[in-house]
């Protein structure tokens, strides 16, 4: 079990957010192709990733399994990107699940 978050993002900006996740190292999960996995240490494909992300219609679902410095930095970069993609009339809401 990890720490789960939902990060809102304007729906029209979701493709750009997904592209950012891939640039940050997200790889499609074998079992769940819509889910991106982040691994910061070499590990077998069946091992638990450090974090996962899924782009949903209303934003991004993010789960932190690693609780490491690398995951904290990744989370910060994702939030920064969501803020960059929002304009002054939008807001970014982060909800802990």
pTM: 0.92
Is the pLDDT reported for residue 62 higher than 80?
Answer: yes
Report helix, strand or coil for 85.
helix
* CATH code for the structural domain at 3-39+49-96: 3.30.310.200
Angle subtended at Cα 23 by Cα 46 and Cα 16, rounded to the nearest 5 degrees: 115
Q: What is the mean pLDDT of the chain?
A: 92
Is the pLDDT reported for residue 75 higher than 80?
Answer: yes
CA 43, 22, 36, 88 torsion-angle sign: positive
Report d(CA 41, CA 50) in Å as an integer. Answer: 9
| Spatial contact of 68 and 40, defined as CB atoms under 8 Å apart | yes
Is the pLDDT reported for residue 66 higher than 90?
Answer: no
């Amino acid at each position: 079990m990890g720490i789960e978050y939902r990060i809102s993002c304007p729906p029209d900006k979701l493709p750009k957010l997904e592209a950012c996740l891939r640039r940050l190292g997200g790889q499609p999960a074998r079992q769940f192709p819509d889910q991106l996995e982040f691994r910061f240490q070499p590990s077998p494909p069946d091992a638990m990733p450090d974090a996962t992300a899924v782009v949903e219609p209303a934003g991004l679902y993010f789960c932190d399994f690693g609780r490491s410095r690398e995951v904290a930095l990744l989370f910060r970069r994702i939030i920064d990107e969501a803020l960059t993609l929002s304009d002054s009339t939008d807001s970014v809401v982060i909800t802990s699940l």
